[in-house]
């Protein structure tokens, strides 16, 4: 290269730079080496037989230059800097509305750390990008081959450290905007941004701009917009070399960049050797940073045996297209907000100014269809003749660097249109803008451009002028003026993946939801009304929506009316659906399976058999399998696995969740199944023995709170009947409670409640202990914790609600204010934090006990202060007064008695008034036919007994004497009742 440097194309430029370095630095030093090295990089890239086309990602100038060069050169092979394994997806771009992103996704990893999963790589594509022009040209031009030569998605993670992909300094707004790409690693073609922070700060300060996107637009986009091909290439080579030579010495990043360049040149040489293609017929599209490469493998004649491509790992990659947006691209690649939208506007303006026809994929969604030709009129299509290529390109850098910035005339019509449009948009959003504001924006834009050494105001100057002239102290609407300018310049365009390019699962979802007759592919919220009573076919749509709610992010499918629980099915449902907005999540579901049922089953298995799985999580998977899949096979399998996990757990933290889910599953199986599944019977049996074993330890363990211990007792007491029927021994529970000796007050109260439930402690003794706690001044500060234990005891022993109400009432009634007020906040916070779900039971019991009116409270006596009564005395009948109530009633209404006597066939008449009325026993003797009928009804064969001479039995003895068999039958009947 020394000879070519002395007499080469850029010899004059080298001399000028050498003199400049000597002048500014006072002699040869590092500055001279950098400047001359940059010229060497440009000369090397220009002399390469395989034409290198340097680009910058999402640059309208690069896209215009690419479209012009493709029509001039018409290459037969286009080498593109993009992951080589993404090539099959590029043909699907024609079914999408740009911008979209090509994605490689791996849900399970093999060869990478497990905590890296899932892996995702995205490459966003917009119409105003050079790579899209190359793709459209290669795919729609017969005889042209498109070859992706960059490292594969697998090598992206092989070569890069995981921590390097995290965005630094990203705020909440940026994170929300980047949601379309998620946590994917972005692959950017033409990464042109200085990696030296001081250099970027210097460029921004002296360029009088705020951020890098504005600097690039002002000093690269505008000068290169109308430049010729050679000038464009040499300038981009120079910029890439500058940033490369001033890059910081990050060894890992430099190594990755150089390995990528070696990888790409190796792939290109392999393709040239395999196909025999002439390098003159090829075009290599890459970032300007990589175009100015200094690796040994650079060029078609570079070293071939110094680099070996490592094999891929065993990770299985899935590929697809996901929707992207301008905001997502800006957030992921660190661009200024609105810069991609401004680039799209500049692209459209450049096409109109140059009258250049861009390349678009045939059938591309979101583009205008060509108009129909008029009959009888043919349009001549000019033949494009490739321009003759000079042997060595002329030096265009010297003239470009010496020429002052082109003073483009002020486009007053465009600026006036912007000023009028922003005022109109401000009025619609609540600003008090007028025509005077439009004039002020126009003049201020020109003023700002002059202060920044610009002849023509840029969109960024106009944006600053609009904010200065229109925005006041507050924003009346949702959008500020800066956001209104971004919307006016094109807004945040969001792409959409077409139906034909969706994975099978996504297409299946749209097909199964077709009966809803909604445009679910569009963005926004759609309201779906499902009346399964009148349209039973909508039941299948309901099943799909509930699975989508389980699998997709919140907001994709949100139920407004209707619910789905164990044993519950709604006949009418209402949903808010935003599948178009969450299209990326739906597409990534397609990477996991071909149907929703398959993906849900895989996720349930992954949750149940994961290393962090607990009994509660497995029971939740059982419930979901029953609700959404209605799969008895999967439910039994997961339930058996839950049984195994329960037997191995040594912690009681998950007991509340286990109790809640087991109760729900038991209630469901008892009402919907003829017999209980075998796994849940074994679960109850094993859980009874397991929790009995852990109970004494849990009472003593300081780390175990009162809630899980109460849940253990709730499991033991609520499942006791079923467990005993399955062969468990109640003695085990009694021994476990007897061996429990807690020290913490709440657990002590919980133990007392368990003893009451088992019968080893009476309610009177429990009340006495509570009274003793209030009488002891040393225990009073801890009394709220005892109350917390009593409230938690309502879970296993709900019958103690009245005792808890009594304990709380006694505390408020007996303690003085000096003692009560200090621990009242502690009582409230304890009950709220530890027993919020049990408080309603306590409140209902208090409402039942206390009077309903305030006036009755003064005379109200609590039930626990009422004098106790003997229950046997209350049940014993009182002696009847000496008043012949029955006889008086019969004599007062003789007609009723005559009718009954006639019905029974009694011929006797009424007794005389002076004759005393017979007693009940004498009545039986006086009417033996009635007694015989009763005896026959009861099946008694015995007859009347003959009374002993002189005996006059009365009362109950008369019954046993006259009719002993009837008495025995009545006694046996009463005893059985």
φ/ψ of 572, rounded to 5, equals -140, 140
Compute the CA torsion angle 761, 763, 769, 772 (nearest 10 deg). Answer: -160
Cα separation, 525 vs 556, whole angstroms? 9
Sorted by sequence, the CB contacts under 8 Å of residue 497 that are 6+ apart come out as 95, 96, 100, 320, 321, 322, 323, 583, 587
pLDDT, position 944? 59
Whether the CB-CB separation of 872 and 882 falls below 8 Å is answered with no
Cα separation, 99 vs 328, whole angstroms? 10
pLDDT, position 600? 92
Cα separation, 557 vs 581, whole angstroms? 11
Report which DSSP code applies to 298. -
Cα separation, 139 vs 362, whole angstroms? 9
Asked if residue 118 has a cis previous peptide bond (ω within 30° of 0), the answer is yes
For 913, counting Cβ atoms within 10 Å of its Cβ (0-12 exposed, 13-18 middle, 19+ buried), the class is exposed
Helix axes 596-608, 538-551, angle to 10 degrees: 40
Whether the CB-CB separation of 626 and 658 falls below 8 Å is answered with no
**What's the average pLDDT block by block, 10 residues per block, for the chain (977 residues)?**
47 58 51 69 85 86 90 92 89 87 86 84 87 91 91 86 42 45 55 58 72 75 78 84 68 78 90 90 88 83 82 88 84 78 82 86 67 42 46 60 57 82 89 88 88 79 88 80 81 81 90 90 89 89 92 90 85 91 88 89 90 90 91 90 89 88 90 88 91 90 87 90 88 90 90 91 89 86 83 86 85 79 76 71 80 78 67 54 58 79 75 60 68 72 51 45 55 50
Sorted by sequence, the CB contacts under 8 Å of residue 259 that are 6+ apart come out as 151, 159, 307
Helix axes 459-470, 435-451, angle to 10 degrees: 130
pLDDT, position 577? 92
Cα separation, 804 vs 802, whole angstroms? 5
Cα separation, 706 vs 39, whole angstroms? 77
Strand, coil or helix: what is 614? coil
pLDDT, position 76? 92
Strand partners, 528: 575
Whether the CB-CB separation of 596 and 589 falls below 8 Å is answered with yes
Q: Is 859 left (phi over 0), alpha (psi -120 to 50) or beta?
A: alpha
Integer angstrom CA distances of residue 420 from 436, 471, 938: 10, 15, 107
Sorted by sequence, the CB contacts under 8 Å of residue 634 that are 6+ apart come out as 601, 604, 625
pLDDT, position 162? 45
Q: What angle do CA 569, 573, 578 make, to 5 degrees?
A: 125
Q: What angle do CA 791, 796, 799 make, to 5 degrees?
A: 70
Whether the CB-CB separation of 749 and 787 falls below 8 Å is answered with yes
β-pairing, 119-125 with 557-561? unpaired
Cα separation, 924 vs 962, whole angstroms? 8
Cα separation, 523 vs 896, whole angstroms? 85
Q: Which residues of 618-644 are buried (b: 16+ CB within 10 A; e: fewer)?
A: bbbbbbbbbbbbebeebbbbbbbbbbe
pLDDT, position 375? 44
Q: Which residues of 786-807 are buried (b: 16+ CB within 10 A; e: fewer)?
A: bbbbbbbbbbbbeebbebbbbb
β-pairing, 51-55 with 282-287? parallel
pLDDT, position 171? 40
β-pairing, 526-531 with 572-577? antiparallel
pLDDT, position 913? 61
Cα separation, 502 vs 580, whole angstroms? 12
Across all residues in the chain, what is the average pLDDT?
Answer: 78
Reading the block at residue 346, the tokens are 């500049």
Question: Mind giving me the DSSP string for 554-580?
Answer: TTSEEEEE---BTTB--SEEEEEE-TT
Integer angstrom CA distances of residue 385 from 70, 519, 752: 11, 47, 99
pTM: 0.69
- In a 13 Å sphere around the CA of 706, the CA atoms on its Cβ side amount to 28
Cα separation, 389 vs 741, whole angstroms? 96
Question: Mind giving me the DSSP string for 948-960?
Answer: PTT----THHHHH
Reading the block at residue 197, the tokens are 């922070």
Sorted by sequence, the CB contacts under 8 Å of residue 542 that are 6+ apart come out as 530, 532, 562, 570, 573
């Amino acid at each position: 290269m020394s000879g070519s440097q002395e007499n080469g194309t850029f010899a004059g430029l080298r001399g000028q730079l050498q003199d400049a370095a000597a002048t500014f630095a006072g002699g040869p030093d590092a500055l001279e080496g950098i400047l001359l090295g940059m010229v060497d990089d440009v000369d090397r890239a220009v002399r390469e037989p395989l034409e290198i086309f340097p680009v910058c990602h999402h640059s309208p100038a690069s896209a215009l230059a690419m479209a012009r060069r493709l029509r001039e050169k018409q290459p037969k092979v286009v080498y593109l800097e993009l992951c080589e394994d993404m090539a099959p997806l590029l043909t699907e771009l024609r079914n999408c509305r740009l911008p979209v992103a090509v994605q490689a996704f791996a849900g399970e990893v093999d060869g990478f750390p497990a905590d890296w999963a899932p892996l995702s790589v995205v490459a966003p594509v917009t119409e105003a990008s050079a790579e899209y022009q190359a793709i459209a040209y290669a795919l729609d031009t017969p005889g042209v081959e498109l070859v992706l030569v960059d490292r594969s998605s697998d090598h992206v993670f092989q070569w890069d450290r995981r921590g390097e992909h995290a965005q630094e300094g990203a705020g909440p707004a940026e994170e929300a905007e980047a949601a379309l790409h998620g946590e994917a690693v972005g692959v950017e073609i033409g990464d042109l941004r200085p990696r030296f922070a001081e250099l970027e700060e210097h460029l921004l300060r002296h360029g009088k701009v705020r951020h890098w996107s504005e600097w690039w637009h002002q000093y690269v986009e505008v000068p290169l917009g109308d430049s010729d091909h050679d000038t464009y290439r040499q300038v981009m080579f120079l910029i890439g070399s500058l940033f490369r030579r001033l890059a910081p010495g990050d060894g890992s990043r430099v190594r990755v960049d150089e390995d990528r360049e070696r990888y790409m040149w190796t792939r290109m040489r392999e393709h040239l050797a395999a196909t025999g293609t002439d390098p003159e017929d090829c075009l290599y599209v890459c970032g300007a940073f990589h175009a100015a490469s200094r690796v040994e493998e650079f060029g078609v004649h570079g070293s071939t045996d110094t680099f070996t491509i490592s094999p891929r790992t065993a990770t299985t990659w899935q590929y697809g297209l996901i929707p992207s947006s301008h905001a997502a691209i800006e957030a992921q690649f660190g661009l200024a907000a609105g810069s991609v939208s401004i680039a799209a506007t500049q692209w459209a303006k450049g096409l109109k100014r140059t009258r250049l026809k861009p390349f678009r994929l045939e059938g591309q969604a979101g583009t205008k269809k060509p108009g129909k030709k008029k009959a009888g009129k043919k349009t001549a299509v000019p033949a494009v003749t490739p321009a003759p290529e000079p042997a060595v390109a002329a030096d265009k850098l010297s003239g470009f660097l010496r020429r002052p910035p082109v003073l483009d005339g002020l486009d007053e019509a465009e600026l006036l249109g912007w000023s009028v449009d922003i005022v109109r948009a401000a009025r619609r959003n609540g600003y008090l803008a007028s025509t005077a504001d439009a004039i002020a924006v126009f003049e201020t834009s020109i003023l700002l451009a002059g202060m920044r050494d610009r002849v023509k105001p840029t969109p960024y100057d106009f944006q600053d002028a609009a904010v200065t002239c229109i925005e006041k102290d507050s924003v009346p609407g949702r959008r500020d003026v800066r956001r209104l300018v971004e919307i006016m310049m094109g807004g945040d365009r969001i792409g959409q993946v077409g139906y034909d390019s969706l994975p099978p699962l996504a297409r299946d979802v749209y097909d199964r939801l077709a009966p809803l007759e909604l445009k679910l592919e569009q963005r926004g919220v759609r309201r779906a009304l499902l009346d399964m009573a009148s349209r039973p076919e909508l039941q299948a749509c309901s099943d799909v929506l509930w699975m989508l709610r389980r699998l997709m992010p919140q907001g994709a499918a949100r139920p407004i009316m209707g619910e789905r629980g164990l044993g519950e099915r709604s006949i009418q449902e209402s949903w808010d659906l935003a599948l178009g907005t969450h299209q990326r999540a739906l597409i990534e579901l397609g990477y996991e399976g071909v149907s929703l049922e398959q993906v849900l089953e895989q996720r349930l298995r992954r949750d149940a058999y994961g290393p962090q799985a607990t009994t509660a999580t497995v029971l939740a998977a059982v419930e979901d399998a029953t609700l959404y899949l209605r799969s008895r096979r999967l439910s039994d399998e997961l339930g058996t696995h839950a049984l195994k996990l329960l037997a191995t757990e040594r912690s009681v933290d998950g007991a509340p969740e286990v109790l809640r889910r087991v109760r729900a599953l038991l209630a469901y199986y008892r009402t919907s199944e003829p017999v209980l599944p075998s796994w849940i019977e074994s679960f109850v049996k094993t859980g009874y023995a397991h929790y009995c074993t852990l109970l004494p330890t849990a009472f003593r363990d300081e780390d175990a709170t009162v809630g899980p211990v109460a849940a253990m007792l709730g499991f033991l007491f609520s499942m006791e009947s079923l467990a005993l029927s399955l062969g468990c021994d109640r003695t085990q529970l009694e021994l476990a409670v007897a061996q429990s000796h807690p020290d913490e007050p709440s657990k002590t109260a919980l133990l007392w409640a368990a003893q009451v439930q088992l019968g080893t402690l009476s309610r009177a003794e429990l009340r006495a202990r509570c009274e003793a706690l209030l009488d002891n001044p040393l225990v009073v500060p801890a009394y709220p914790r005892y109350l917390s234990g009593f409230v938690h005891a309502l879970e296993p022993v709900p019958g103690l609600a009245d005792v808890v109400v009594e304990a709380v009432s006694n505390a408020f009634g007996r303690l003085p204010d000096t003692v009560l007020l200090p621990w009242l906040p502690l009582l409230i916070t304890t009950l709220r934090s530890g027993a919020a779900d049990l408080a309603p039971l306590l409140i209902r019991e208090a409402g039942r006990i206390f009077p309903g009116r305030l006036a009755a409270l003064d005379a109200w006596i609590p039930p626990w202060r009422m004098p106790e009564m003997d229950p046997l005395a209350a049940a014993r009948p009182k002696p009847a007064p000496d008043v012949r109530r029955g006889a008086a009633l019969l004599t007062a209404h003789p007609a009723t008695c005559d009718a009954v006597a006639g019905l029974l066939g009694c011929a006797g008449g009424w007794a005389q008034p002076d004759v005393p009325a017979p007693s009940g026993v004498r009545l039986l003797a006086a009417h033996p036919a009635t007694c015989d009928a009763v005896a026959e009804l009861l099946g008694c064969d015995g007859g009347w007994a003959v009374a002993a001479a002189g005996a006059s039995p009365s009362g109950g003895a008369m019954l046993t004497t006259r009719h002993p068999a009837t008495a025995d039958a009545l006694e046996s009947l009463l005893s059985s009742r």
